[in-house]
Structure 1
Amino acid sequence: MIPRHVALLSFEGPDRYASIGGLATRVTQLARALGAAGHDVELFFVGDPQAAAIEETDPGVTLRRWSQWISTQHPRNAYDGEPAKIHDWEVSLPPWIVDELLVPANAAGERVLVICEEWQTANVAIAIDRLARERCVRGALTLMWNANNTYGFEKIHWPTLTRAAAVTCVSKYMKFELGVWGVNALVIPNGIDEALLAGADREQTAALRAAFGTKPTCVKVGRFDPDKNWLQAIDAIAELHAAGTPARLIVRGGKEPYGDVVLGRARERHLAVERLAYEGSDWHEFARLLGTVDAPVVHVRAFLDEATLYALYAAADATLANSGKEPFGLVGLEVMASGGIAVCGATGEEYAEPFVNAIVCDTSDGRELATYLKALFDDPTLGAELRANGAETARRYTWDNALTALDRKIAYVDARSALA
């Protein structure tokens, strides 16, 4: 079973400084779910250098912002100054985990679960295992290293890592990717916050829907990265316009240079791009400004809080989470839970059933996406069915269910370790 003491190690976390992608959502919500279930959780992450080093937030959860002295010199985000931060984690975290968590737990006859996330923590996991053996407390440790993506796989010494920790991943897609490296991983799916199942805020959703007007409106949120199939989204809107459907795309990307390629493609396809002059945090103002723009592509640069994002998902005719490479696809599930219609790719989104609870693209061809969107716009019954079935699917992917899977996998890992 899941031990009372849990340590999560991840570069990303709940601060805006460390909230870069799906990993931040995963570890933040996993920590909250474990805390709510009665566990004592320490979430180590590369947090805001100006925030408190140690902070108790949700019940049972303690945030530990690591490497702040380095982050002060690299203010952009958690991955700014990454090599120095990785070195600091490898040197400073293993002794802290073993001395402050594992040794006391061992003396009390308890266990500690340590979950290390992504390639940046691979050597940290190896060092924790080695130090725990040297201190003769390895028997009190359940150590897992989890893969959310394939980034950095070439930098990992897999034979050493697999001897040190149980390797887990978030989907069958990632299991197969690990198999390419000769690693047999345990699959433990992500979850979503149960509070999401109530759907997006109705007032916000209604205001945003009214702001969209009568034109079919799609939303795409994510990093500007080729893996996210941004060009397919742009091409699909262009194809719809060419066929006489005046669809719009609301874009919320990041600050990555690839954004210039995406918006450049829109102009190449004769789609006007308008940047939304919104820099604040008032959703009423956001909705008002959306109602004043009419360009086929609307570029939103401002940070949008979760409530506004979920309302945007619910209000839109479709949310394009159409990644060409998506190890799990938390956004698709969040769209479903919010009451929206998710358009997914065909990799790690195992929850997505084509034209049952979502639209699924098998290629990166804009014409494929345009064809499916046209069918959706022309058939209100299809849209209603997708929303209803998507909401039902989301109920099967709460963190409570994910923790049950984690509990069963831990029982196996501990049983295997006892026989080693």
Structure 2
Amino acid sequence: MPDKNLTVIVEQCLAPVPGGTGRYADQITAALVATCPPGWRVRTVTAWHRDLSPARIAGADGPHRLPVGHRVLNQLWRRSLPPWIRGAAVQATTPLAPARLANAVVTVHDAVPWTHPETLSPQGVSWHRAMVERAMGTAKAVVVPSRAVADDLAGIFPAAIARVQVVPHGVTPMVPPDDAADRRRRLGLTGRYLLSVATLEPRKGLDVLIAAMAGPVAADVRLAVAGQPGWGGVDLAAGAASVGVSPSRVQALGRLDDDDLAAAMQGAVALVAPSRSEGFGLPVLEAFAAGVPVISSDAPALAELSAGAAVIVPREDPSALAAAIGAVLADPDLVASLRERGLARSREFTWTRAAGALWEIHRRP
């Protein structure tokens, strides 16, 4: 009997700013390959790109190029036009999916286009709303990473909520390389610093974090931000100057590979996630797994993920965030407790478990 194809759309691996959804596409596809049931194989597709290497996943058949580039593909699929995708089942790792969705499982990472539309571009809001609305009406299942996102979608699409299933992400171990100290020196990470891993966009709340550094409690600590510029023109240096923080205390690291990121995490006093909204919070989970204390906003998905393993502070409250930073800087017992709780929490999340849940959905009649 010929193998059945599970065709996975891994376009986000090739996005200019792949972010957490790019890591999800890569890691969940690798896990689907590793857990592939007998009689199945995993095939991957992308839009047309000259260089496909970031989307190559060991053991998968592909990536196979579709005949159009990313921008055109976005608009064709929004308008329910071809190209179509072959396969007994389709896994869309973001809402980017063709119109024929009866055999597709679509991952929706958050409900930000409805809950916080001001933090996205108008074009992004319009596209995501259209694609998610279609998936909610026609896909075999819509997978979300947290109960918080499921609850948001239940309020927006009450008639279709039976389609939504929560499948939490896994965690990618951040193992520091042998030359981690040299990497930190090369990156300019010296002394005591906080780390935030975030695309430079308004939704990530980096302005609140920088404002928290303006007071005396956090005056002797620096901030390093790992992530690429996204939408919204976030300028860390200008933001720092506007609230009286020396721009020299705020460092934009850009996008880091996994070894550099592991080295940066290892040396950080804490990882800070001040987001206004999230669907899951992969950097928080990765910090837990690395034994790094976490300070997080009370965005529902982050609070759900942390489950008592992080210091939680109200969103949009620089004073509360500064107090939390001060507590971590001053209290070794708190740091030890956060590390222990974070490590324990991280063990509850694996990509293998996430892939197993997806295979169960795909193989269901």
Q: Match of 1:149?
A: 110
Specify whether residues 384 and 243 from structure 1 end up closer, same or farther in structure 2 by C-alpha distance, changes over 3 A only. closer
Report Cα offsets for 1:105-136 as digits up to 9, x if no partner: xxxxxxx3312243432xx1x3243xxxxxxx
User: Which residue does the alignment assign to 1:321?
Assistant: 273
Alignment match of 1:296 (pick from 242, 249, 264): 249
2:176 match: 200
Residue of 173, 179, 182 corresponding to 2:154: 179
TM-score (norm 2): 0.81
Aligned partner of 1:217 in structure 2 is 193
Superposed CA RMSD: 3.0
The Cα shift of 1:34 comes to 1.2
Structure 1 gap segments, 5+ residues each? 71-77, 102-111, 130-141, 274-294, 416-420
SS of the equivalent of 1:120 reads coil
More contact order relative to length (CA 8 Å, sep ≥ 6): 2
Cα contact 1:31–1:61 (8 A) shared by 2: no
Could you tell me how far apart the structure 2 residues matched to 1:352 and 1:219 are?
17
Choose which of 18, 21, 26 in structure 1 pairs with 2:19.
Answer: 21
Maintained 8 Å contact 2:12/2:94: no
Give 1:245's match in structure 2, choosing from 208, 211, 219. 219
Secondary structure of the structure 2 residue equivalent to 1:86: helix
Taking structure 1 as reference, are residues 169 and 235 closer, same or farther at Cα in structure 2, changes over 3 Å only?
A: same
SS in 1 for 2:51: coil
**What amino acid is aligned across from residue 44 of structure 2 in structure 1?**
L
Q: What SS does the corresponding residue of 2:11 show, helix, strand or coil?
A: coil
Q: Amino acid of the residue matched to residue 224 of structure 2?
A: I
SS at match of 1:91: coil
Q: Distance in 2 between matches of 1:244 and 1:228?
A: 20
Q: How does 1:7-406 map to 2 (within 5 A)?
A: 7-13=7-13, 15=14, 17-38=15-36, 40-46=41-47, 49-52=49-52, 57-67=57-67, 69-70=68-69, 82=71, 84-89=72-77, 90-94=80-84, 96-97=85-86, 101=87, 112-121=88-97, 124=98, 126-129=99-102, 142-150=103-111, 151=113, 152-156=127-131, 158=133, 161-182=136-157, 183-184=160-161, 185-193=164-172, 196=173, 199-204=175-180, 208=184, 212-214=189-191, 216-239=192-215, 242-243=216-217, 245-256=219-230, 258-273=232-247, 295-301=248-254, 303-346=255-298, 347-349=300-302, 350-354=304-308, 357-406=309-358
Would the aligned equivalents of 1:32 and 1:61 in 2 still touch at CA under 8 Å? no
Taking the aligned partners of 2:135 and 2:171, their CA distance within structure 1 comes to: 32
Residue 377 and residue 307 in structure 1: after superposition, are their counterparts in 2 closer, same or farther (change >3 A)?
same
Residues 390-412 of structure 1, C-alpha deviations (whole Å, 9 max, x = no match): 1222121111222233344456x
Q: Distance in 2 between matches of 1:30 and 1:178?
A: 22
1:145 alignment partner, SS class = strand
Q: Partner amino acid for 1:63?
A: P
Q: Identify if the C-alpha distance between structure 1 residues 212 and 224 changes in structure 2 by more than 3 Å, giving closer, same or farther.
A: closer
Label 1:206 to 1:389 Cα distance change in 2 as closer, same or farther (>3 A): farther
- Looking at structure 2, the residues matched to 322 and 19 of structure 1 have their Cα atoms a distance apart, in angstroms, of 20
CA distance in 2, matches of 1:88, 1:61: 24
Alignment partner, residue 104 of structure 1:
none
Among all aligned residue pairs of Structure 1 and Structure 2, give the percentage whose two residues are the same amino acid. 20
**2:117 match:** none
CA distance in 1, matches of 2:55, 2:134: 36
Partner-residue secondary structure (3-state), 2:301: coil
Asked whether the equivalents of residues 310 and 342 of structure 2 are also in contact (C-alpha less than 8 Å), the reply is yes
**Matches of 2:182 and 2:252, distance apart in 1:** 21
Deviations 1:275-318 (A, max 9, x none): xxxxxxxxxxxxxxxxxxxx3112334x4211111221121001
- Aligned-residue offset at 1:171: 0.9
**Structure 1 pair 51–187 and aligned structure 2 pair: CA distance change class (3 A):** same
- CA 1:61–1:233: 2 relative to 1, 3 Å: farther
Structure 2 CA distance for partners of 1:18 and 1:160, relative to 1, 3 Å: closer
Separation of aligned partners in 1, 2:206 and 2:66 = 34
Choose 1 or 2 for highest CA Rg. Answer: 1
Aligned with 1:364: secondary structure? coil
What TM-score results when the alignment is normalised by the length of structure 1?
A: 0.71
**Structure 1's 29 and 213: CA in aligned 2 closer, same or farther, altered over 3 A?**
closer
Are the counterparts in 1 of residues 17 and 228 from structure 2 also a CA contact under 8 Å?
no
Question: 1:75 maps to which residue?
Answer: none
TM-aligned CA deviation for residue 269 of structure 1: 1.9
Tell me how far apart the structure 2 counterparts of residues 6 and 173 of structure 1 sit (CA, whole Å): 28
Q: How far apart, CA to CA, are the structure 1 residues paired with 2:287 and 2:245?
A: 26
2:116 aligns to what? none
Aligned equivalents of 2:136 and 2:253: distance in 1? 41
Relative to 1, partners in 2 of residues 1:205 and 1:395: Cα closer, same or farther, differing over 3 Å? farther
CA contact (8 A) 1:147 1:168 kept: yes
Evaluate the alpha carbon distance shift between residue 171 and residue 255 of structure 1 in structure 2; reply closer, same or farther with a 3 A threshold. same
Equivalents in 1 of 2:359, 2:345: separation in Å? 22
Shift of 1:234: 0.2
